[in-house]
Structures are given as structure tokens and as C-alpha cells.
Amino acid sequence: MRTQIAAANWKMNLTLQQGEALLKGILSKAKTLNEHQQIVFAVPAPYLQAAVNIINGTKNVFVSAQNIYNKKSGAYTGEISVEMLNSIGVTHTIIGHSERREYFNEHYKFLAEKVDIALENNITPVFCCGEPLGIREAGTQNAFVAKQLEESVFHLSKNEIKKVVIAYEPIWAIGTGKTATSQQAQDIQHHLRSLIAKHYDEETANEISILYGGSVKAANANELFSQPDIDGGLVGGASLMEDEFVKIIEALK
């Protein structure tokens, strides 16, 4: 079975004290994970070390950065490198979140370079893709997400792409309370898997976890996660609420 993942994206929220309390609360209430289930906490950069300390090697629970830079080190004031993440035990990073694409103009090539440097340094990329409302309304979402994969991850070898987690996040559903229906999410995630199968092969496509993100909450997680091509969620708002996120973890297949 593919790895099923409940990934929390705290974005730029919470104080350290609030974050520590939330993390401890979730860990104390979360069910025991089986071997194909994982929890990933993408916490703000200043809290990464504290989160690693709290998780303290708990099996199948990981800490993620929300962003990295595409260089290993150097004169890049304010940026975070994969080497820094490695040095404190952070194992994942989000790459290409729509907020980074939109507010910080992160584009295909830059994102491809981030994916490369993450993989070269054993950091798992959680690579986000997804269309804005206008594209969905025009019905061209399949071509839109295909281009995002083609330009930023399809240069990878078969072995490399198997290490990437993909998160499909329709921009019109992020932080809006508007969730894609489970059928809409399933359809496009099936399309993403088919693109991977076409570019690589079926076996590769069947190994890659594809998460859904966009207003996932306790009330819709079961239905979304029960879809065959949805392998868990990347969760923003609801990951800031202890009981909500615990229930989302419970909904993992």
C-alpha cells in the first residue's frame, strides 16, 4: 500500500509556546500509526528545532520546512538551506506551495532546482501543484497541473521521483472553506497519476503518494481520503486545531 500522509502546514501562525502545546497535544492524542501511515508537521522555520526535539524520533512522524532555497550555502540573507535542515534532523520540505508561487513569484525552473537540491540532500520534497479559479472555470485544469509537473519534477529519474510526495491543492479551495468535491479531487489526482505513469511507468505512478489540500477538515477527511488516488492531505487551517487534526489523522486509510 502507498504511504498515507497527514501533513500539517502551519504557515505563518502560532507563537513558539502555542506551537509546542499543539504539537504535544496532537502527539498525545493521535492513534498509533501503522507502517504505511505518516504524520508530517511543516512548522515555521524558527520552530523547526523545537519540533524535532518534541517529536524525538517518534516512528513515522516527521518535521518539515515550509520552504528551502535552491543553493546549499552562501550569501543569501534570510534563506534556509537543506544543509541546515539536515543538521537539525528535519526530513521534509514543502516546495511550490501556491502562496510561494503567488506572493514570491516562485516559478517552474526555480522550483525544479529546489526539488533537485532537496533530493540530493535526502530531504523529501512535498511538491505542490494546483490551479487557480479561472483555470478551473475554463475547464483547463488538467493541462495546467500537467505543465506544473512537466516543468518542475518530470526531469527526475524514476528512482528520484519515487521519493517525491505530490500535493494537489486547487488554489480556489485553499483557506477559503471551499473544498473540492471528493470526485473533483479524485478525478484530477487520477489524472496526475496517469501523467506519471505515462512519463515513467505504472509501477512508479502507483508508488507515489498524492495528497489533497484545500480546506481539509475533520468533517470531510474521511470522504476525501477514501478516494483511490488520494493518499492523505496537506492541511492548513484545520492543522492548527488539535482535535480537528487528530481526527484527520484518524481518517488516513
* Residue 215 sits in the site that holds ligand PEP (CB under 6 A): yes
Options 20-28, 100-108, 140-148, 231-239: segment touching ligand PEP (CB under 6 A): 231-239
Q: How far is CA 184 from CA 2, 3, 100, 141, in A?
A: 21, 22, 24, 11
* Residue 96 sits in the site that holds ligand PEP (CB under 6 A): no
Q: How far is CA 239 from CA 53, 130, 242, 244, in A?
A: 19, 20, 7, 7
Angle between helices 218-225 and 242-250 (to 10 degrees): 20
* Residue 216 sits in the site that holds ligand PEP (CB under 6 A): yes
Nearest-approach distance from CB 244 to ligand PEP, in angstroms:
10
Nearer to ligand PEP (CB atom), residue 65 or residue 174: 174
Q: Residue 39 phi/psi, 5° resolution?
A: -120, 135
Find the binding residues for ligand PEP in span 1-60 (CB under 6 A): 9, 11
CB 158 within 8 A of CB 127: no
Nearest-approach distance from CB 213 to ligand PEP, in angstroms:
4
Name the grid cell of 243. 482535535
190 is catalytic: no
For 25-47, b where at least 16 C-beta lie within 10 A, e where not — what string? ebbeebeebeeebbbbbbbbbeb
Q: CB nearest ligand PEP: which residue?
A: 236
Options 77-85, 106-114, 119-127, 207-215: segment touching ligand PEP (CB under 6 A): 207-215
Q: Residue 92 phi/psi, 5° resolution?
A: -130, 160
* Residue 104 sits in the site that holds ligand PEP (CB under 6 A): no
- Which residues of this protein are in contact with ligand PEP, per CB under 6 A? 9, 11, 169, 174-175, 213-216, 234-238
* Catalytic machinery residues: 97, 169
